[in-house]
Amino acid sequence: MPDYEITPPPTRLADRVQLRTAFSTERGEVPRFLVQLEYWLDGEWQPVVRYDHDRDTEMGHDVTEEGLHRDVYRDGVKLQDDEVTPPIPADEGFEYAEEDLRENVEDYVKRFERWHDIRNGSDL
């Protein structure tokens, strides 16, 4: 994971569920961000759904050129990469990503629990 200027502590959304955000700014622009929904499983935080933007790395998504992508994880591996928007400014992508994960946390977590055969998992 690249170094980010701003990495606030994750926000706990439910038992075993948190939202991690990190970003950097340069002259009012957002050159990179990460917004990730995580689930506590097997003694560590596992990615559930991730949005990211990094215009300076070869493997990073550049939302200003490619649009916003949603990465969905299963068993710690990226299962799918959904195109969500056409190209948009990075700050709008950051806001959209955080809003989507907060609004759809229950659906994303329930799917993750189903895939991992977790019963009585989160308190959503």
Q: Which of 11, 2, 28, 7 is nearest to 91 (CA)?
A: 28
Q: What is the pLDDT of residues 67-101, one digit of tens each?
A: 999 999 999 999 988 999 999 999 999 999 999 99
The confidence score (pLDDT) of residue 1 equals 53
Q: Where are the alpha helices (DSSP H) in the chain?
A: 63-66, 90-103, 105-115
Q: Distance between CA 105 and CA 34 in Å, rounded?
A: 16
Q: Which two tokens stand for residue 48?
A: 């559930």
Averaged pLDDT, groups of 10, the chain, 124 residues long: 83 95 88 95 95 82 92 93 93 95 96 91 75
> How close are the terminal C-alpha atoms of the chain, in Å?
28
Question: Could you tell me if 21 and 8 are in contact, meaning their C-beta atoms sit under 8 angstroms apart?
Answer: yes
